[in-house]
Structure 1
């Protein structure tokens, strides 16, 4: 079986036209035909029904099933190529969401320096959802990820090592600044200044709105947490942030919510399940988990 035959097969499943597939790969149409014949002969089955009169191709049920396996095979091979090419560079492709990068990761840098890891890192800063997809595609070796629920991905090795509640921050001059036992329903009618929708906060925020039967008034979104805090400090609105992103120097009122069954911000370290970690990657994995265990 040739890998190229599988690539021809998947393209034919998509386009259902031998000529189009041949043009796509810049080969002759008989090349595509012979490749498909080889696959069908190898398995002793028919993947495509050819209607020569109407010049149509139909993918059989068996062909559709086989296509699912072939897509997975080609995806894994693409990941393997990227991993092999990157391994030659002796670098670690590391994913770091903005909030985790700004508020959790900095104290780790001295340890990374002492372990001679800092110069091996190629850091990609994206939201956790984007980093998760990059990790699954093999574009990253490892990532710190935030999630609104425990992260469960069969393709990944995941170690959760910290949880942070979500809090409400507001100006010291806000009318609710001294309220005791604040519940989310008390925030009805308030103006919210929030992280962009690709942050994990969005899922947790929407869940709280549903539970409290609130249609939120969101006046501004940004991926810059410092801008959010500055706007809140000016009493332009309130915000919903993970406790991880709130510090004693923010000049804000930080209120925990009294609601039951609140979502929490889960912090996890993840890598592809089938990747054999190099010594440098193993050292980084252990260092992060060790720091997380001592910090929490």
Structure 2
């Protein structure tokens, strides 16, 4: 067995065609065939059945089961390659969503400067879902993430340090601005400004809309909270925003949600469970913990 055999196998389960797999890896078809034969002999089972009458390749149940294990193995190997390539650099790759970053990152940076770690830090800004994928594939080492539920994957270590409710924000000239609280069902005919898909705010809005049996009228999507706020202030539309992202000097009205079953914005420090913690990474993790736990919500 070798890693290439695993890669050929994984691709064959997806393509179900020896020629396509061979082309994909720029090898001959017999090379792929021999690799599969080696694996079947090693594990004493049949992973693929050739249905010559229908000219198709059938993956057996044991083949699908083996591929489940290979998916994990190949992913871990890919992560190991990335970590090995940057091991000597001792770079600290840190991800944070814009809203969480705006609130917590200044305190983290101040502590990094005082401890001399700032030069080793590389940051990546994106939505929480995108950052989670980057963390799982080894492209970043740590991140602050927002979620609607605790992150319980075995491959992750997640420390949820805070939670904050979602609010409805409307322009001060909007008819709803006179209210202090509202049921989400009352917003059926409103126009919404929404974060781009992949942000937790988008998922929260979809959850609220689903619970109230209507599809929100989304007129604009943006990655940037300041753009969303500006459009709400100008009364272009309304938005659903985590309380964390609302500042005292924002020029719009803030309404509480009265719904019993409403989402909460959970904030967590997240890393991979298989990651080896060097002294520098331990130091960074300690700074992140101290920074976020001592920043009042």
Structure-1-length-normalised TM-score: 0.90
Q: Which range moves more in the overlay, 277-286 or 59-68?
A: 59-68
List aligned pairs for 1:162-241, cutoff 5 A. Answer: 162-241=162-241
| Structure 2 counterpart of 1:268 | 268
> How far 1:64 moved relative to its partner?
2.3
| Structure 1 counterpart of 2:106 | 106
| Structure 2 counterpart of 1:97 | 97
Shift of the 148–20 alpha-carbon distance from structure 1 to 2, 3 Å rule, reads: closer
The CA deviation string for residues 3-56 of structure 1, in whole angstroms up to 9 with x for no partner, is: 222222223333444444333333344433332232222222222334678765
SS, match of residue 154 in structure 2: coil
Query: Any stretches of 5+ residues in structure 2 without a counterpart?
Result: none
- Rounded to whole Å, the distance in 2 between the matches of 1:285 and 1:210 is 37
Is 2:182–2:258's contact at 8 Å kept on the other side of the alignment?
Answer: yes
> How far 1:134 moved relative to its partner?
1.3
Is 1:13–1:67's contact at 8 Å kept on the other side of the alignment?
Answer: yes
Shift of the 171–80 alpha-carbon distance from structure 1 to 2, 3 Å rule, reads: same
Shift of the 255–41 alpha-carbon distance from structure 1 to 2, 3 Å rule, reads: same
- Rounded to whole Å, the distance in 2 between the matches of 1:23 and 1:215 is 45
Is 2:104–2:291's contact at 8 Å kept on the other side of the alignment?
Answer: no
Structure-2-length-normalised TM-score: 0.90
Query: Any stretches of 5+ residues in structure 1 without a counterpart?
Result: none
> How far 1:138 moved relative to its partner?
1.4
Is 1:96–1:126's contact at 8 Å kept on the other side of the alignment?
Answer: yes
- Rounded to whole Å, the distance in 1 between the matches of 2:78 and 2:130 is 19
- How many residue pairs match? The answer is 296
- Rounded to whole Å, the distance in 2 between the matches of 1:252 and 1:53 is 68
| Structure 2 counterpart of 1:32 | 32
- Rounded to whole Å, the distance in 2 between the matches of 1:215 and 1:62 is 43
Q: Which range moves more in the overlay, 141-150 or 167-176?
A: 167-176
